[in-house]
Amino acid sequence: MRFQFILSEIGIGLRRNLSMTISVVLVTFVSLTFVGAAVLLQSQIGKFKGEWYDKVEISVFLCPPGSSQPTCAGGEATNEQIDSVRAVLEQPDVKAEIQSVTFESKAEAWVTFSEQFDDRWWFNTVSEDDMNASFRIKLVDPEQYQVINDVLTGRPGVETVSDQRSIFEPLFLVLNRATLLSAGLAGVMLLAAVLLITTTIRLSALSRKRETGIMRLVGASNFFIQLPFMLEGAIAATVGALMAVGGLWLGVKYLVEDWLGQSMQWIPYVTTSDVWVIAPLLIGVAFLLAAISSIVTLSRYTKV
């Protein structure tokens, strides 16, 4: 009987404040969509780093003939200078940071260059003599690039030390800023959702002031009086959360997996499985919004 009464009270409250309830659903939907987007963006950055950072190499380009770098004043790197660089890489404190080292001669560099660019119109203007011999270094931790850079930059025979991470860092920077923007918008919308749910519960409580007064007279507890109002906010917030999960799933499915995934297959993307992983988080946030709003409002407007 009590359960049936609570359900009827919830139905009455939702009908009386239908427009406000719809507003709560929509605001919760938008705010949790931003929360989910921020989480998915961070997950995407993690996938990028996990896929690419393991493949990132440091390229130590040795001096070719005619280089204008001060370290190449003596001309092309000599065997002694190459051996000196190799000796530096064998030092215990440096070697501990290195996973593998590969030396690429000018002839090998020319073969690779020819395979990649032999169909370009300017290919015949380049020769093997223009190539750089180089060391290709893969680090145990790609973040420790500075260790290699510090010990090799400026050494005689070394033209440049190049870190492939510099290719990806601008992309990570853009994604991180997009995450911050999404998180900021989510914070503003979550605050709006709390205020709106609070207002909805307050209006619902005021519109049923007579009913709650009768319930007080017959000895109903605070919890029994407040439960229908709490559930109204929780239901509206949960519907908004489910809509957010559905919107994120559709976005990832059709925009990421089907569109981006088909056009650029070499990039690891977030998937719909990642959306299901964060779905409990979004629903939990929705319940938290409803709980905060209920605590703020009901203790004042329905207190026995």
**Domains located in the chain, CATH noted:** 2-52+169-301 (no CATH), 57-163 (3.30.70.3040)
Q: What is the pLDDT of residue 50?
A: 64
Q: pLDDT at position 247, please?
A: 92
Query: d(Cα 12, Cα 298) in Å, to the nearest integer?
Result: 17
pLDDT reported for residue 304? 42
Residue 190 neighbours by CB under 8 Å, 6+ apart? 31, 35, 285, 289
Q: Can you list the alpha helix ranges (DSSP code H) found in the chain?
A: 2-16, 18-52, 79-89, 92-95, 106-117, 145-152, 165-207, 209-217, 222-250, 261-263, 272-301
Place of tokens 């991470």: 165
Q: For each of the chain's 304 residues, which pLDDT tens digit applies?
A: 454 544 555 555 556 566 667 877 888 888 888 888 888 888 887 777 666 666 677 888 888 888 888 888 888 888 888 888 888 888 888 888 888 888 888 888 888 888 877 777 777 888 877 788 888 888 887 777 778 888 888 888 888 888 766 666 676 677 778 778 877 877 887 787 777 777 776 766 565 555 555 555 555 555 555 556 667 777 878 888 899 999 999 999 888 888 877 776 667 788 889 999 999 999 998 888 877 776 666 555 445 4
Model pLDDT, residue 204 = 61
At residue 73, the pLDDT reads 83
Q: Is the pTM of this model over 0.95?
A: no
Indicate the residue type of 219: G
Helix (H, G, I), strand (E, B) or coil at 218: coil
Structure tokens at 118: 């032999």
pLDDT of 277: 92
State whether the Cα torsion 66-69-70-72 is positive or negative. Answer: negative
The pLDDT value recorded for residue 79 is 87
Q: What is the pLDDT of residue 12?
A: 54
